[in-house]
Structure 1
Amino acid sequence: MSLHKEIQTQNRSYLWKFCLYTSLLLLSALIVFSFYGLYSNRFYFLKVDNYIFPLFSVLHFVFLYVLNFKIREGEYPDPIMRNIEYGMYAVLLIYIFKCFDTYYILMSYEEYQSYMIPETFIPIGLLILSLHLLLVGFTFLSFYQRKVLIGSYEFEQIDKNMNSWQ
């Protein structure tokens, strides 16, 4: 392998590790913030709605694990990985919805200003919004990294190359 290709591969590996660790950090922080009430400055663990984001983020953790395993072992993509990624497209829509939902809550500040809104409303709200936006960006980046480092989902081509009788 030429030095240029080796450096390119090493840079892609660093980008993937950065994407992986940042995604894990973002998911962990947003799971904690999914229980946080912006209007009240309290955590609510008994509301069923607060468990939606952590439940869907489990699929994101599985996707990151499978992607990391495939990259580390140098394996080809398979139908199970494809199905997990297709599920991630639906989860990505939920992430985008959470961005709009948090933005809508932040824009309601003027409407509820006469009530007792905590001082942490704007700073924490902006933090949560920025974390959601970063998660959307890193999710797209992980899709791109899958395509670059593992390859596309062309199973006929993979089967043809793996056929030992030809």
Structure 2
Amino acid sequence: MIMKRFKFSPVCLAMALALAGATGCGEIQQGIADGVQAGEAEGSVKVLGRLAIEQLAGVKLADDLDCESGELTGTKTPIECTGQTADGRKASVNGIATSAEPQKAVVKGKFTLVFNGKKLGELDCIGFCSNGGRSGDSPGTAAVERLHPLEQ
């Protein structure tokens, strides 16, 4: 059997490797960016969502919320969080985060807060949302300001 040897010019080989590497790196970089975005949103809601529920319901939760984020769609991160008080009353924050700035203690999107089976409200921002996050605001202050009234 006769085997043919193929010769590749170093330039063609370098271009082929660069093209393959660029495609792979782009996907890896996007995966990392998506993971960071989802992690920032999830981590922010974990802590700030707890503070908002505590403020709105007038209770103390046993710990930060347990959160899971779903598959990222563009800039939207679906998030589901649960927690409870020491005596077992349940709390949840569910919704879509559109942006999170952990360094400013703010997460924006559309969130529904529930405590002990009662809907506390729907928020478009959790954390230091108003007044540009100036000191003096307390976490959840803007959440209360943006709370849509519940129908009685």
Q: Which has the higher helix share?
A: 1
Please indicate the TM-score interval, normalised by the length of the shorter structure.
0.3 to 0.5
* Structure possessing the higher radius of gyration over alpha carbons: 2
Q: Which has the higher strand share?
A: 2
TM-score w.r.t. structure 2 length?
A: 0.34
Which of the pair has the greater relative contact order for Cα pairs under 8 Å at 6+ separation?
Answer: 1
TM-score w.r.t. structure 1 length?
A: 0.31
